[in-house]
Every structure is written in C-alpha cells, then in structure tokens.
Structure 1
C-alpha cells in the first residue's frame, strides 16, 4: 500500500526541514522525502493531509523496561532482573516482554515508536537487550533487532543486591572483579572453541560465554549502567582493558568527565531526568547535563528509563534540557538518530529518509512545545494510533485477532 503524507512541516532530522513537504511510503518503507514538487505521488496512493502539522520520525527510546517491568501488575509483571546470579549474560529481554503492558500505549501517545528494552541493573551483567516497535500482538511481531547490546551495571545496585545476600559482589571493587572475571573466562572460552573447531572436535557450548564473546568481538555494544563519576571512570578503564564498544547509560555525573568521555568518543544515554535525588548516586542530577556533554562533543541520547519516568514524557525531558542549555537540533537527535546510531539501528529507524522503516508521527505542532500532541502515529506504514479530538482521547489500533 502506498501512502503520501503531504503538506506538513517535515523534519527529517538528518536533513533540512521542509515546509509543505511530502513523505511517500510504500510497502512499509519510506521511498521519498522532499518538497511537494519533487515527489511524484501515484494515482492509487492514500493521501494523508498533514497541513498545519509537523511530521517527524518516531522517537527512539534507548533504555527502557517496557513489557518486562509491567505497570500496575506488582510482582507478577516484574521480569526485569534475574537476580539469582551476578552474571546472567545468557538471559534475553525478548523472553520477558508482554506486549499488553500499558507502557506501549503510552509510548505511542508520546510519539515513541522504537524501544530498546533492557534487563535491569540488579545484576553486574544483566543480559541481552532487544529493540522492538511499540505495537504488535506478540513480541516477535514487534521485533526490530535481537540482541542489540549487553546490559551491565556498576555502582550501588548490584553492590546492594548481592551484599544483602552476603555474597560477592558487596563492594564496587567486587563488581568490577565480576566483570573482569566473566570477560576473561569468555576470552579463554573463545580460544578453546576456536581450537576445537580447528581440530574438528566437538565442543560443549555455554550460553553465557557465547553471549560475552559477541561483546568481545564487537558485535554487541556494552551498555554500562553508571551514575557516579568514579563508576564512569571504571567503565572507561574496563572498556580500555577489554576493547569492547562502550555505551554509557544514565551518566548522572558524566558532565564532570565530559572532556574524557568526548576524547574516547563514548556515547552517553542520559537519564532519567525527571526524578528526585533518591540515592547517593543521584546527588549531581541536573537538567544541564545533556547540554554540557553535547557542547563538549559527546554524542548523547536521552532516556526515560521507563517506568522510572513514563515513556510518553520522553520529549518533555528534551524540552527541559533545551531550556537548560541543550541545542534544539541536538535535542531532537537525542531521541531519534543518535540512539539509533549508538545501538546499530540507524539502518531501520531514527530519521525520515528513503530506505528506512515508515515509522513517523504527525504532531499538532513543534513536539518540543509541551502543548503539542502526537495526532497520528505510523509504524511500518501502518497507522496504529490517533488522537480523537471529539472525545479528547488517544486511540490505539487493536493488534489482536478477535475472530
């Protein structure tokens, strides 16, 4: 099916905005973006009039727990952490996602179409992350890429969880030791596996080490939960030791080390920003952090860490970061192309350009204006959400087969 979104103020993110532009969609992909005069619309195309509205790519949430930390479900919906082992590299977030989580509906209302769902930070090595779209009846229908990265945590969380159990790690040095030991074992495992392959001998595979070898080989970025400056320094040190692709997550005190992070070209997923300082690691939390990092040359993305902050507030965090010094263009990039690039998803999402998935949102106005609404949301060229102005409510398309 061919769809032409016409007449809107098109913000492709990776190019110059186009007033009165056209986005042409076919087969769930974007096939053309440009001024109306430059885009040929087939006679059989469905025309969506976006006059007076803004048209942007769907936002990308780089660090959330939708579907694995279900809202209003208590322990029954809590599948964020497999806290029975400090190293659970073998677990996969995809296996715990419930598409019926209300957070996915909130995501659409906030213009978010792609979410990287991560295990929690209770373990030192939490497991494999997955990128999904915000609509579908099974996680397999929603799947964008699996796995996307490996989640790991430094600082208070694993120290508290396992310290309370009177087992290692109970200190920051113990947390770092668990990472070193796990990656050293993965190096040895890889050497043994390669030797067995050379010899043509059978080899007993281990899912934990198989996953960590993918990190060592550069296939999976290492998403490192780290708030405090000392933990961020440890993250940099470990990355230097093992040579993996590091993506800092949270980075509450990253602004204190902005020059060091920029020198290494380490991206930072910042947030959540709408929280109180509920623990020591958050004492330096500030909305100025994104702007300071960006000015220092650090590539940034902004996250809600849903459900810590509701995912539909993702763009509002950007608005307030802009108020506190972040450049507007960088702000929009921080929830579109930047997280897509950081996590290897930019061949599918994060911008409006030919060849990418047709995930776009028609806004009533500038999305950085808190009064603007996501009016219509398309995923893979399929309209999955619209705001009903007569009733004043958002309506999500039912993904389930009802017979």
Structure 2
C-alpha cells in the first residue's frame, strides 16, 4: 500500500501507530560493563548483600569511638586508655569504632595518645549499607546506562550487565552528490542510543539494487536513507513496496517524502537523503521505535513557557527547534531545521497536526538535544 505525497499525506500519529503496532522490547543480552554504556538496562537481580557489607573508612586516619572523645579540644585534650588503630581509606573499621579522625587530630607522645577534637558518629566513615541496602536494584530497568553506572558496576565486581540492544540495519541509497553527511549522522544517532548497527550501501539507486540490499534483512528495525523523493531515480520506496505494508508521504515538516511500513513484523523507515529531513524523521519516528524495542523508560521532557508564539499549520506535524533563555523557550525554527538553528538549539518539540500552535507564555514540554551520560 503506497501513497503519493502529492495526493495524500499520512498523519504522523498514524505513521507512528503503524510502526509501534504489536512491537515489544527485544530479549535481553549480556554485555561487558564498558560496552554497555549508552544501552538501556534490562531487569537486574537485586543485591544479595549490602554495600559496603561493613562500615569502612573514607579517609586515612585514626579509628576511634566518638563517645570517648566528648569534650576533647586543643585546649583540653582527651587521653586515650589504649592506642587507637590506624586505618586507610577503604579499610574496614575495627570492632566498636564509629568514626575516623585525620592524623592532625591525634597527638602521640611515646606510647601515649591524646585526642584534640570531638567527632560525631559516622565522621570519616561510610556505614554498612550506606551505598546500597541488601535487596536494592543498582541499575533500574529502562534506564540508559552511563559512565557512573559503569563505575558502580565495577565497584560491585560485576563484569557483565543485562541490556536490551536492538539491531538496526541502515541502507544507504546512494545519490549523485552522496549521502555521506546524512548516513553518518543517522549512524551516530543509532550508536548513541545503544543499538547495534549494520550499515550497507546499495549497489545502485535503481529498484533492483535497493531491493537486493533490503532482501534478507535480519534486524529489529530497517532504515533506508535516500531515494524517497519524486525524482526519476528515487527507487527506495518502490523497492520497499514490493514486500512491505507501506505509507509514503507524511504530514511531517520537515520529512514529507519519508515512508514507513512493516515487512512482516519488522518496522521499516525510509528516510529522505537531506540531513534536516532525516533528522526530523529520526526524532519523531525512529527514536520512539527504538525506545519501544529497548524497553526504555519515557524520555524526559523539560517544561517551560514560550517567550514567543509558535504558529503551525493544521493537518501537519511541525518539528520546532528552541533555545533555552532566561524567560523560557525561544523558538528558533518551525517546520524547518537550518544549520544555524541547529547550532544554537537546546531542544526540540513537535506541534501536533490538530494544533495551530502555542501562544506566548504557554508551558510546553521539549526534548533536550544533548543528554549527559
């Protein structure tokens, strides 16, 4: 089933519903902790024991019992009946000790020790279970694994973690001027969300060459880039239509010439070769599919008021770029993604096809363009 974009455009909501229909998260796999950075965590078993299992020192110093130091000061040192134990950061505290004082807080004269200051229980100490209690889940399911998770996993002695890692096949439909910028950008986006990537270049721009590159694709999401327009050699849609339920021509700006569909149960997205159009299709269609496949928790939106109104055409979903200013979100581009706006933008949002836009001062939720690991 195909649609000529000059005759009818499929709404973004309809296109996304087709892609997500019956789609479930992929099965978890085990990856080395470092390799899992950027991937989405699958369910992990709870900790069997607390961390740390016993109280440990967090600085080098003398292990003491805080109640024995009451009233101690440089003017009224408190002598110790027995020599204190010296511990270093990471050492388990001796039995009965509940604080650690640095070297300058204890004076030694031969076998005699005296303390020059008080301490509260827990000073210089990480108590048993303070990092994680027994039964805690260290990395929540659906969360993106970052560098801090890598550090925590290593601290726990974990060599591997369970993740959901969708397999994405990218097919470059070559153009006379090349799609290097677009294919490279989308490939980087795929890697950034933790998916496994298989990148292929079709032998030509004709239907047979594209169909051959598509044939036998073993992946969770198939993306073609280029060849979706009305040009005489734009054959990506024709090649996909031979074996897919396909909707061509979307009420999405930018991205009108994109197509979506299913080959069996596998979702398929045909992106235009122009970088701005491909990026809009990536944000609004590919990301939701990969979020579903990876079992990712809902993406964070940041809500602030608009400092200028957004006007949108009813019947078309517009992609909007905004900049974070003191008063709220400043729209930079509506239905268009020029490089100048992309270089300044902090976030993006869509205006639903049924809406005429948003008035100045209206609170809107946006998606950050740059996420921290």
* TM tier relative to shorter chain: under 0.3
Whose helix proportion is higher, 1 or 2?
A: 1
Q: From the CA coordinates, give the structure whose radius of gyration is larger.
A: 2
TM-score, scaled relative to structure 2: 0.27
Whose strand proportion is higher, 1 or 2?
A: 2
TM-score, scaled relative to structure 1: 0.25
